[in-house]
Amino acid sequence: MLIAVLSVESRLKFVGASAGSLSLREVGAGLAGGALLAAFGLWRAWSTGSDAEKRRYFLNEDLEWAETVYSAVILASLLMYFLVQAFKIPSGSMESTLRIGDHLFVNKFVYGVRIPFTDKRVLRLKPVKAGDIIVFRFPTEDPEAQHCGGSQFGKDFIKRVVAVGGDTLEVRGGVLVRNGEVLGKEPFTQFLDSYRGDPPALAPPPALYQELWQGGQLDLKLGDTMKDHFGPVKVPAGAYFMMGDNRDRSCDSRFWGPVAEKYVKGKAWVIYWPPNRMGAI
């Protein structure tokens, strides 16, 4: 148990945006650590005592201890991989819903349990829907891709789903429009800046615009102008449009494209720290 907790807590403290993510490699590391503890127990049993009877006593005692430790490590590792993930909010992109430094748990089974080494899920309780706050792996397989000021490959992000597959989304002078309907009361329609930027002088034609957006290349063409003037684009089937509630301070799907289902990790569930922020999300 201690090994799994240390793995998560160390990431929460030092890694930031990818904090709390437990990979198969880390699960394996936890199991290996448990095996080392068990081996230490056996060595201690053999090296303690001067006769066979004492060694037999310590061996039985330490075998039981090693079995308990290893079982706890296995259970904790499986729980962290399949069911719950700890996460620390690294930026202000979700304020005021989530604040910098909030520690929360992510429900990893509500959208289905992922089969290891595949993109398939089983036992899905509910689908992802607009309004859900979810944690996902940044949608790229290219470690060299540059977005939001650097490479985001392999990092975990947390945003709100504002559109799902089949929806059309655009931003008109800072106003969010989904399927032709102006969205005016949701948390993600609020913004801090009173100044709305000018639209790009020369935007790509609609077909190219959609292609660049889906390929995660639109920000390279239009830069920060997309914050207030974006789209329209159609969200592909099996993908989601993510946006921060503090959208004037959010690097999100406007800049790097849709998030495919395979990148989704789970739904933000409950804040557990600090105490004055505890509660369901």
Could you tell me if 96 and 245 are in contact, meaning their C-beta atoms sit under 8 angstroms apart? Answer: yes
Q: In this structure, what are the phi and psi dihedrals at residue 54, rounded to the nearest 5 degrees?
A: -65, -40
Amino acid at 156: D
How far is the C-alpha of 266 from the C-alpha of 2, rounded, in Å? Answer: 24
Return the active site residues: 93, 159
Q: In this structure, what are the phi and psi dihedrals at residue 145, rounded to the nearest 5 degrees?
A: -60, 135
Q: Measuring CA to CA, which residue among 68, 67, 63 is closest to residue 42?
A: 63
106 burial via Cβ count (<10 Å: 0-12, 13-18, 19+): buried
Q: Measuring CA to CA, which residue among 99, 218, 216, 211 is closest to residue 153?
A: 216
145-154: which pairs have CB atoms within 8 A and are 24 or more residues apart? Answer: 145/216, 147/216, 147/219, 147/251, 147/255, 147/256, 148/251, 148/255, 148/256, 149/251, 152/17, 152/256, 154/18
Torsional sign, CA 174, 177, 180, 186? negative
How far is the C-alpha of 241 from the C-alpha of 169, rounded, in Å? Answer: 8
- 3-state class (DSSP) for residue 186: coil
Q: Calculate ∠ Cα 260-266-267, nearest 5°.
A: 115
Q: In whole angstroms, how far apart are CA 120 and each of 65, 113, 259?
A: 37, 8, 16
